[in-house]
A and B are shown apart, each in its own frame.
Chain A
Amino acid sequence: GAVVSQHPSWVICKSGTSVKIECRSLDFQATTMFWYRQFPKQSLMLMATSNEGSKATYEQGVEKDKFLINHASLTLSTLTVTSAHPEDSSFYICSAWGQGDLNEQFFGPGTRLTVL
């Protein structure tokens, strides 16, 4: 089946630094990718919808200048957490929407971010 990967799997950084998370669709092209944030034992909170070649659409309450999204190709979207703070520590999950016959959403394994 279709696979979505994320890199890194986990990252620890100091407060004030920026962290980039990559989301790749490995064997299919995705015009649309989604970025979620998950709090412990809770729902995935949609942060933004990333469309290839255009600006991302952010959900209400998500700071677009803090969470920079770039969807430069049909197989790669990146989320950069700028000037990270401890409250940004969370589990970030991406998903990709396949094209054509793959008309469904595939989820990545997640990236655990810990900001010290």
Chain B
Amino acid sequence: GQNIDQPTEMTATEGAIVQINCTYQTSGFNGLFWYQQHAGEAPTFLSYNVLDGLEEKGRFSSFLSRSKGYSYLLLKELQMKDSASYLCAVMDSNYQLIWGAGTKLIIKP
């Protein structure tokens, strides 16, 4: 079957760095998405990786290793507003999105 695994919850301190991991097993691969979702709001696109390597975008970076079925989202200089759920989703060979359950990130002062 197809599945996406990511931690249920993580806690980090304001100003620190946190890495949220995502591992996947899917039928084919057409890219991996990371979304941020604040409670009660629609998810916001953070990144899209289809090739191996690190993509940096400001305080957020996303890494992909297709051979390992692994990605991570790296958040630097954490701010209180980064407290949210982070969703990992993989698009399979049929262009269907397989969603992770999301990681709830709690930022403490």
Contacts and interface: CB of A to CB of B under 8 A. Distances in A.
A43 B42 contact: yes
Contact of B97 (A10, A45, A107): A107
Contact of B48 (A36, A41, A45): A41
Interface in B32-50: 35, 37, 42-45, 48
Contacts of A91: 95
Which of under 10, 10 to 19, 20 to 34, or 35 or more describes the interface residues of A?
Answer: 20 to 34
Given A43-B35, A104-B102, A109 B45 contact: no
A46 B42 contact: yes
Interface of B: 35, 37, 42-45, 48, 87, 89, 94-99, 101-102
Main secondary structure, interface of A, reads strand
Interface of A: 1, 9-10, 34, 36, 41-46, 91, 93, 104-107, 109-110, 112
Shortest beta-carbon contacts, A-B, top 9: A43-B45, A46-B42, A109-B96, A107-B99, A41-B48, A110-B97, A44-B43, A43-B44, A109-B97
